[in-house]
Structure 1
Amino acid sequence: MQSQDWTVPGAPGRGYVWRAQTPRGNVLLTHGFGEYAGRYVDRYHALIPTLVAQGFTVYAADQRGHGASGGARAVVDVRELVQDHFAAREALRADPHPLFLLGHSMGGLVTAASAARDPRGISGVILSSPALLVGENEPALVKRLAPVIARLAPGLPTTDLGTGGLSRLPEEVAAYEADPRMYHGKVPALTGASMLSLSASLWPLYARWTLPTLVVHGTADRLTDPRGSQRFMQAIASGDRELHVEEGGYHELLNDEPRERVRARIVDWLRAHTA
């Protein structure tokens, strides 16, 4: 499926748009750590083609340090990614169609930060296995040292996420490992430390969150903490909120066994909110 280039003023990432023939809404998709926007065409149960077929124009970008965008590979301050997300939303502000935000993993954290800090112009938010609770089990000393190490050695490899927690489907794990456009190294110090600080800073803001919200998360996710999604749903003030839990689901639910069910829930939710 072919995309068109999409330029976001003020954001350095390589942008793309997949246009629906008769659009009913726009989706701003934000990918996760180490991946790239086009992966949601070929993997993730063909999420982008499915959304386009259902009448949703999809906008996305390879975030800094990812995919075809510039920068040291995966070495990013996620607070800058939030600023890029604001710029992307601003670029879409004049479009009359409703705007929905969809973020996965680290992209879920970026999306949540953007929406929590400025909810204007957003018709709804979908978070897939979002990294909302980062470093919950890390020792206090590690949390104190993280920003220091990030300043001194931003590219220092730290946590090895591995691939065993991505999916229960061997073919999906194999595709991930064989994809040269993916970043296959450890989490750089700057990326991890900035995710830690950003996630902690957002919790006081969620009490003001009134946006329609769908969160999908698997109970066996070892890469992002499912408890973060549960706490988030308890913290927000939205009267239109749904937590879709997949028992035994791994991190990439749309590349895992329940992918058909999860994709259907996302599509049905979007259709219901544009009816």
Structure 2
Amino acid sequence: MNTPVNWSFGRPLEGWAWQAERERGRVLLTHGLAEYTHRYEPLIQDLRGRGYSVYGFDQRGHGRSSGTRALVDVDAFVDDHIAARAALLEGRTPLFAFGHSLGGLVTALSVLRDPRGLAGVVLSSPALLVGSDLPAPVRAVSQLLGRLAPTAPTIELSSAHLAQDASVGARYDADELVYRGRVRAGTGASMMRAGASLWARAHTWRVPTLVIHGDADRLADVNGSRRFSGLARSEDFTYTEIPGGYHELFNDHTRQDLIRDLLAWLDGRTRTP
């Protein structure tokens, strides 16, 4: 197994790089809410084994990075993502962005702000539609609470909803680097605002894209991926919906098939070294 090296891109965040021996492409990987980059080690090793160097960092308040645990300011997270992409622009191989859940939302907003320099984007169970099912008064109260008491606990997310494979949730619950508290008010409010911003610009999306989502995902609304797929105007857009699929598809029983499809999709947009 390849050991990562520390990677810095000008932000006070903990970052790593897994270098491929014969690099055909690079992937900037962005994790989801309450977790951290090294949870993707199996996927990272599959990518590296195929010739893709992987770069990742623990977002603010997550994993080994500093900050209030799991308190999310999506705008600040997008700024960090833009800085990470800028640090990778000088590479000689195609650059892809992979984002899961909250990381998918951050990645999408980063690309909408500036799509330059990317050969493609992969969104895994992206959290694009947050709070849309809430009545308008509840959304208004959520925004107010997010401003007045951003660290206040709100809804609880169950690890049982991560994957059909129960061992995934068990490992998650035993992981000391995972945040297991309730979603903070400021996090929910920020993600709601970010989602509204995304929908206002989704029709401008023209980057090659692969979106993967399970129709039984109870942590990120699959309707967000469906809606995004209908609005995006990329001529190279693939949407894969997994029947019965939970949230962490790359950690579940679907893993091998999805790894195969992901690598094939990336290979189709790169050249053999």
TM-score normalised by L of structure 2: 0.97
1:1-275 pair list within 5 angstroms = 1-9=2-10, 11-41=11-41, 46-275=42-271
Tell me the alpha carbon deviations over residues 65-90 of structure 1, each in whole angstroms, 9 at most, x when there is no partner. 00000001101211100000000011
Tell me the alpha carbon deviations over residues 17-57 of structure 1, each in whole angstroms, 9 at most, x when there is no partner. 0000111111000000010101101xxxx100010011111
Contact 2:202 2:232 in 1 (8 A): yes
Distance 2:167 2:103 in 1: 24
Give the ranges of 4+ consecutive aligned residues of structure 1 lying more than 3 Å apart after TM superposition.
Answer: none
**Counterpart AA for 1:25:** G
Secondary structure of the corresponding residue to residue 96 of structure 2: strand
Distance 1:61 1:264 in 2: 25
How far residue 109 of structure 1 moved from its aligned partner, in angstroms, is 0.2
Which consecutive unaligned segments of at least 5 residues does structure 1 have?
A: none
Which consecutive unaligned segments of at least 5 residues does structure 2 have?
A: none
Contact 2:71 2:151 in 1 (8 A): yes
Distance 1:158 1:78 in 2: 18
How far residue 96 of structure 1 moved from its aligned partner, in angstroms, is 2.1
How far residue 146 of structure 1 moved from its aligned partner, in angstroms, is 2.0
Distance 2:178 2:268 in 1: 34
* Percentage identity across paired residues of the two chains: 49
**Counterpart AA for 1:170:** A
Contact 2:160 2:166 in 1 (8 A): no
How far residue 241 of structure 1 moved from its aligned partner, in angstroms, is 0.5
How far residue 273 of structure 1 moved from its aligned partner, in angstroms, is 0.9
**Counterpart AA for 2:31:** H
Tell me the alpha carbon deviations over residues 132-179 of structure 1, each in whole angstroms, 9 at most, x when there is no partner. 111111121121122221121111011101112111111111111111
Q: How many residue pairs are counted as aligned between the two chains?
A: 270
Contact 2:215 2:246 in 1 (8 A): yes
